């Protein structure tokens, strides 16, 4: 293994897989390597937020995700061998023309990754499992990565998507600071519990620690999550079965996977060092509460993919790549705070991680308004008006279609709303142009929608379009 590529991605979890798909559909050469012997087997990050569903629609995997998953069930409380109440932990809203997904979707992480790997294969790519990074050096033109067995890969850029114990981050020496969200250990496992109804997410709140069993869709398994007021978890199959019996009185059978963790919130001081980037858990780790970690990681990859492609293919300058950290670091910091608050909220009875998930957990309102790639050129906007840097809403086109169908793919979109006359001339390989009479979520004007579905430019002046595209795309319109 002595080869060259444009982008080396280390880590084939959801972050690495989404980034690989983004590069593959733009024709950018890459290598996706993973130290593991094979695919991740567990359910761990099982909640997909509405913003992630929008990304998956753009990637062409939404149908598979919806067919493989299910709505999150209502919570059910148990006491003394009987159900004593139920409640909804989620904020659910009806789909609207602006936001087609109103609630999270339940899908075990192993299945999400399976769907992403299949999509990557359709795009001509694959994962190189059993390939362990041992170190790297970077210079002015690229990165030389070293692997077990003596092989090397030379790449223009390297992306560390290799998890909370990131080898890439450690090699960079990037500080990774944070705090323990909850000092008590927890165990997560996938197991069979015959006879337990799959209609609810079952919970037991006990002095020795809370326990929850969530049915995993399109399987016969449940995800177990349990805390420990004292002592240490035993993640062995026998230990997990004994835990379920002691706390619930139920009989667990096959244990497919288990892991022990302590909830922690931490973030890298930098997401970029020269030609090396950090994404996903390598850049930030969260409490599992609120289903924010996996979703934030997927958005990292979705943000970085098009920028790397434009830097490599259209001569985008360093400022374009710097915008990855400028945009994603403050978002990650905010989401870390949200997941920590949810974990500690507890809800009725002090159940750890069972705090109410508000609409902010949907991640539709996260924005890049302070980004150097967000140009708001209008004045006199009303409070609550869409601004440059906001997520570009869906909507109905003049012919009855959807704006998301217009935005789908790898190009920028020039959206002209309520304007008459010719549109600014743009390079059709870089930008698609679309006009419509009205779009209530947008108001009137010219809007450049970035490939990752955010409003980059909002203006009334046609001359602003070419200036913006020179900056954001690394090329003239």
Q: What is the pTM (predicted TM-score) of this model?
A: 0.94
Name the DSSP letter for residue 80.
Answer: T
Structure tokens at 365: 């309102």
Give 352's pLDDT tier (boundaries 50, 70, 90): very low
Q: What is the pLDDT of residues 115-126, one digit of tens each?
A: 999 999 999 999
What b/e readout covers 292-312, taking b as 16+ CB neighbours within 10 angstroms?
bbbbbbbbbbbbbbbbbbbbb
Instruction: Decide: 11 and 163 in contact? Cβ < 8 Å.
Output: yes
Are the C-beta atoms of 90 and 103 separated by less than 8 Å?
yes
Q: Which residues pair with 273 in a beta bridge?
A: 276
Query: In 3-state terms, what secondary structure has residue 425?
Result: coil
Q: Which range, of 245-259, 303-317, 433-447, averages the lowest pLDDT?
A: 303-317
**Mean pLDDT across 319-347:** 76
Domains of the chain: 2-72+95-178+264-362 (3.50.50.60), 186-261 (3.30.70.2450), 375-473 (3.40.30.120)
Of 145-159, 255-269, 353-367, which range is least confident?
353-367
Task: Please state the rounded mean pLDDT for residues 354-371.
Answer: 77
Cα first-last separation, the chain: 40
pLDDT of 174: 96
| Token couple for 289 | 């509460």
Residue 305 has pLDDT above 80, yes or no: yes
Residue 213 and residue 192: Cα distance in Å, rounded? 10
CA distance linking residue 296 with residue 307, whole number of Å: 17
* 471/298 Cα distance (integer angstroms): 25
The model's pLDDT over 194-236, given as tens digits with 9 standing for 90+, comes to 999 999 999 999 999 999 999 999 999 999 999 998 899 999 9
Cα 105 to Cα 82: distance, rounded to the nearest angstrom: 28
pLDDT at 472: 86
pLDDT of residue 347: 39
pLDDT at 475: 45
Residue with the bigger pLDDT between 12 and 314: it is: 12
């Amino acid at each position: 293994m002595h080869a060259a590529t444009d982008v080396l991605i280390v880590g084939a979890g959801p972050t690495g897989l989404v980034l690989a798909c983004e590069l593959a559909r733009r024709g950018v050469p890459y290598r996706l390597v993973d130290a593991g012997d094979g695919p991740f087997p567990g359910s761990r990050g099982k909640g997909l937020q509405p913003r992630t569903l929008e990304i998956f629609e753009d990637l062409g995997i939404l149908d598979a995700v919806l067919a493989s998953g299910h709505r999150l069930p209502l919570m059910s409380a148990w006491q003394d061998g009987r159900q004593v109440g139920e409640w909804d932990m989620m904020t659910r809203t009806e789909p609207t023309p602006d936001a087609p997904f109103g609630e999270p979707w339940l899908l075990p992480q192993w299945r999400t990754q399976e769907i992403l790997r299949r999509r990557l294969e359709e795009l001509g790519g694959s994962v190189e499992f059993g390939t362990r990074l041992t170190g790297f050096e970077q210079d002015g033109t690229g990165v030389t990565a070293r692997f077990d067995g003596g092989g090397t890969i030379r790449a223009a850029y390297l992306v560390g998507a290799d998890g909370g114990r990131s080898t890439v981050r450690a090699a960079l020496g990037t500080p990774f600071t944070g705090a323990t969200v909850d000092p008590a250990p927890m165990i997560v496992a996938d197991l069979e519990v015959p006879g337990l109804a799959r209609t609810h997410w079952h919970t037991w709140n006990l002095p020795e620690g809370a326990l929850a069993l969530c049915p995993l869709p399109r399987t016969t398994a449940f995800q177990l999550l349990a805390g420990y007021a004292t002592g240490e978890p035993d993640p062995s199959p026998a230990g997990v079965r004994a835990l379920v019996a002691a706390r619930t009185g139920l009989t667990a059978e096959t244990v497919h996977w288990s892991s022990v963790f302590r909830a922690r919130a931490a973030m890298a001081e930098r997401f970029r060092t020269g030609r090396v980037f950090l994404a996903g858990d390598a850049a930030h780790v969260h409490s599992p509460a609120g289903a924010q970690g996996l979703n934030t990681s997927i958005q990292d990859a979705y943000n970085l993919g098009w920028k790397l492609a434009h830097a490599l293919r259209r001569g985008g300058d360093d400022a374009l790549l710097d915008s990855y950290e400028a945009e994603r670091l403050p978002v990650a910091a905010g989401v870390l705070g949200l997941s920590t608050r949810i974990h500690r909220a507890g809800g009725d009875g002090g159940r750890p991680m069972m705090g109410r998930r508000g609409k902010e957990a949907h991640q539709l309102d996260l924005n890049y308004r302070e980004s150097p790639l967000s140009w708001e050129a209008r004045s006199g906007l009303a409070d609550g008006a869409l601004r440059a840097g906001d997520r570009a809403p869906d909507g109905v086109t003049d012919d009855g279609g959807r704006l998301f169908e217009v935005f789908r793919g790898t190009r920028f979109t020039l959206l002209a709303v309520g304007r008459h006359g010719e549109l600014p001339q743009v390079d059709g390989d870089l930008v698609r142009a679309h006009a419509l009479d009205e779009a209530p979520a947008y108001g009137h004007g010219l809007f450049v929608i970035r490939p990752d579905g955010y409003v980059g430019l909002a203006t009334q002046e046609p001359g602003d379009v070419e200036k913006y595209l020179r900056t954001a795309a690394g090329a003239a319109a």
